[in-house]
Structure 1
Amino acid sequence: MKKIDKSVADAYFKARNTIIVICLLIGGLASFGVVFFAESLQHIQFMGMPFHYYMAAQGAVVTFVVMLFVNAIVSDRIDRKFGINEEENVRLSAGKTVDH
């Protein structure tokens, strides 16, 4: 495996951590934010049912599934930007053992 400069590695992990924080915030808002504001959201109708009920029943699950796909796409772009090649790393490390 090739060596990565510390500044590049720091920028890579900063970008990855930013994506993780954004996903956690969106997930928290989808799960807890709707519950917290359920009383004020009950007057908003979405597909014929109260918005807070829809988000609790289906919306949060759909939000998480969409986030998984978006996270995978953004992570691949970050990896390409910083020259990280997962397939090459797997190929290089395949079959190697650790000597004690």
Structure 2
Amino acid sequence: MKKIEKGKADQYFKEKNRYIMLYLIVGFLSSFGVVLFAGSLKGLTINGYPFHYFMGAQGAIVIFIILLFVNAKVSDSIDKKYGIDESKNESLSYGKTLDH
């Protein structure tokens, strides 16, 4: 496995952490934020249900699943940007066992 210099590794983790914080904020707002503003969101409806009820029942889960796919795509692009090749790492470690 190729070694990465410390400065580049720090940039890599800083960028990854920035996106993780963004995902956490979106997740928090879609689950708890909607509940906090339920009173002012009474007028909005989705499929005949109040918006805050829909988000509590299904919307937050759908947003979480979408965030999982977005995270996978963004993480892959960040890995490529910094020269980290997952398939190459898997092929290097495939078949290795610990000898006792």
Question: Normalised by the size of structure 2, how large is the TM-score?
Answer: 0.90
Q: Which residue of 2 aligns with 1:63?
A: 63
Which residues of structure 1 form unaligned runs of 5+? Answer: none
Deviations 1:67-94 (Å, cap 9, x if unpaired)?
1111111111000000001111111122
* Structure with greater helix share of residues: 1
Q: Which residue of 2 aligns with 1:26?
A: 26
Map 1:1-100 to 2 at 5 A: 1-97=1-97
Distance in structure 2 (CA, Å) of the matches to 1:98 and 1:85: 24
The CA deviation at 1:97 is: 4.3
Which residues of structure 2 form unaligned runs of 5+? Answer: none
Question: Normalised by the size of structure 1, how large is the TM-score?
Answer: 0.90
Q: Provide the aligned length of Structure 1 versus Structure 2.
A: 100
Q: CA RMSD in A?
A: 1.5
Deviations 1:15-57 (Å, cap 9, x if unpaired)?
1111111111100111111111112212222232211011111
